[in-house]
Amino acid sequence: MIFASNVFLFLFLPVFLLCYYIAKDHWRSYVIVLGSYLFYAWWRPDFLLLFVAISYWNYWFGLRIKARIDAGQKKIAFRLLTVGVIGNLATLGYFKYANFGADVLVAVLEPLGINTFTLEHIILPLGISFYVFQALSYIVDIYRRNAEPTNRFVDFAAYIALFPQLIAGPILRYSLIDKQLKNRTHSLELFSLGACRFMLGFIKKVLIADSLAPMNTLAVAEAECNTVTGLKQVHHAATPLLLS
């Protein structure tokens, strides 16, 4: 699901906003999480399990880091932070660089006559870089005492999964919005401001970016074609010199 699609504009967004504003304050984080998970699972439902697992991983580490800091055990808190960071980066590295690493290893082993292997192509989960680094900012902020951890997983999940910035960013530091997870201000003025910003971004995307995209694609293709042609000309010009 993309923001410019009919299903988002005329089905998902109106239903989500209706459910959000008729819900009581206590349940609004649940509406955000359920709506955001539906938005994310629209592409690949199986990757939603990874998303939830990473969210709970960082939520759990945030609580444990806070408990150790309060107990004066900062060294243990730092070890927990290290394990949490390594887990996040290892997950991100696997999905982003496993295919590249396997190709490099095969290219090194093949000339040596060593039997190579094939790695099934790993699909990169949508928005994984954004939500992994956003989750990282949570446990780092807790360790630095820049914010207090939330005791409700649903509030933390809402912070990680908020669909307007889930797949395209920006990465939001937890310390900047932790208070908004507990107390939010809603008004007609703020809603109107948000609607205007959304429409401005929508206009830039549909009328400007989408209109310029074909010209950009053509220019890039022409540049690549000229580069290939230039390399061939250099090769043909150098061949007689090498043969002589």
The pLDDT assigned to 236 comes to: 54
pLDDT in tens, 105-134: 767 766 666 666 566 677 888 889 889 999
Cis? peptide before 170, omega within 30° of 0: yes
pLDDT in tens, 222-231: 766 766 565 5
In angstroms, the CA 170 to CA 164 distance is 10
Q: How many CB atoms lie within 10 A of CB 135?
A: 26
Asked if 81 and 65 touch (Cβ cutoff 8 Å), the reply is yes
pLDDT in tens, 22-49: 998 889 999 999 999 999 998 888 899 9
In angstroms, the CA 20 to CA 16 distance is 6
The pLDDT assigned to 242 comes to: 45
pLDDT in tens, 194-241: 889 888 888 887 788 778 878 877 877 776 676 656 555 544 554 554
Q: What is the pTM of this model?
A: 0.77
Domains of the chain, residue spans: 6-186, 187-244
